[in-house]
Amino acid sequence: MYGWIWRHLPGNVWVRALISLLLVLAVIYVLFQYVFPWAEPLLPFNDVTVDNQ
Amino acid sequence: MRVVVRTVSELCITVGSLIVLFVVYVLFWTGVRANGAMDHQIDVLKDQWAKQTAHPAATVAPGASAGPRRPAPYVGGRPFAIMYIPRLGFTWNKPVLEDTAVSTLKKGLGHYANTAQLGQEGNFAVAGHRRTYGDPFVDFPKLRPGDAVVLTDGTTWFTYRIDKGPYKTVPTDVEVIDPVPRKSGYTREGRYLTLTTCDPEWGHSHRLIVWAHLDSTQPVEAGKPEALRR
């Protein structure tokens, strides 16, 4: 999977490394901004009230 | 065969990294975000109060000076007070917002919408995170009878004194936020305060409760109440 991505990136090793880094950062951004905020309420840490459990 | 092994290993690494990132998010990032959000809510409140002082309400109904005046209805998801609990740290102060929605509790403590207003007859009940989102109530079990819980709505300081707690109960025990809470030891109507959070620290099987009664009030012009002076 990662090898396939690496082979399909353009440019020499340095350009590919830079693009990979940007891709990784983009994935982390999407995770922190959208995916984790959605997943976190499914965990029990939000249950602090006595009425709506 | 080689492709299969490689793909499976890559998947495992990906899932592992995801879990580590998620733990970082829950333990660290929610706190960063919540501290920013709580500071913002406190700024909003202080701005609002500064404006009120600049343009005080023109007409004060006669006789309104007897006891704390009735505050305007709170707006869901909006801050209306700041809470100070010296036992949780001298600098510990959190905004109190109306309602206990998940999104509200990310920005501060949440006031149970169907309970009494601050300083009024009845039970002023507030919920807060024990862990994650800035850990506001992480030291909740350290609270002891006699501890002060001080709140201000911009015009009045309310000093509550804890009478009982931390009391451990189950999540369905809604009677702990009744006007005269069950198990609190209170026998008649009064101006009470209830704080709730989760227990154990990272779990949700139980709730921790403390109860307090309104001990004293003073206008903000009179300076900080005794409990907040060092």
- Tell me if B112 and A47 make a contact (CB, 8 A cut-off): no
Which residues touch A13 (CB under 8 Å, ≥6 apart)? none
d(CA B134, CA B48): 24
Residue in chain A closest to B106 (alpha carbons) equals A46
Surface of B (95-124) touching A: CB under 8 A: 100, 102, 105, 110, 112
Whether A52 is covered by a domain: the verdict is no
- Tell me if B176 and A50 make a contact (CB, 8 A cut-off): yes
B171 closest CB neighbour out of A3, A31, A53: A53
Closest CA to B194 of B211, B180, B208: B211
Question: B39-228 maps to which CATH number?
Answer: 2.40.260.10
Whether A31 is covered by a domain: the verdict is yes
Whether A14 is covered by a domain: the verdict is yes
Whether A47 is covered by a domain: the verdict is no
DSSP string, B79-106: EEEEEE-GGG-TT-EEEEEES--HHHHT
Give the residue from A6, A32, A40, A49 with the most B CB atoms within 10 Å of its CB, the best one to mutate. Answer: A49
Q: What is the pLDDT of residues A1-51, one digit of tens each?
A: 888 999 999 989 999 999 999 999 999 999 999 999 898 888 877 777 877
Q: Which structure tokens are listed for B47?
A: 């701005």
Q: Which structure tokens are listed for B209?
A: 């409760």
Whether A8 is covered by a domain: the verdict is yes
How many domains is chain A built from? Answer: 1
Determine the structural domain holding residue A22 and report its residue range. 2-42
Q: What is the pLDDT of residues B66-123, one digit of tens each?
A: 455 566 889 999 999 999 999 999 899 999 999 998 889 999 999 999 899 999 999 9
**Three-class secondary structure of residue B165 per DSSP:** strand
Q: What is the pLDDT of residues B126-183, one digit of tens each?
A: 999 998 899 999 999 999 999 999 999 999 999 999 999 799 999 888 999 999 998 8
Work out the minimum CA distance from B170 to partner chain A, whole angstroms.
8
Identify the pLDDT of residue B63: 43
Burial of A10 (C-beta count, 10 Å sphere; 0-12/13-18/19+) = exposed
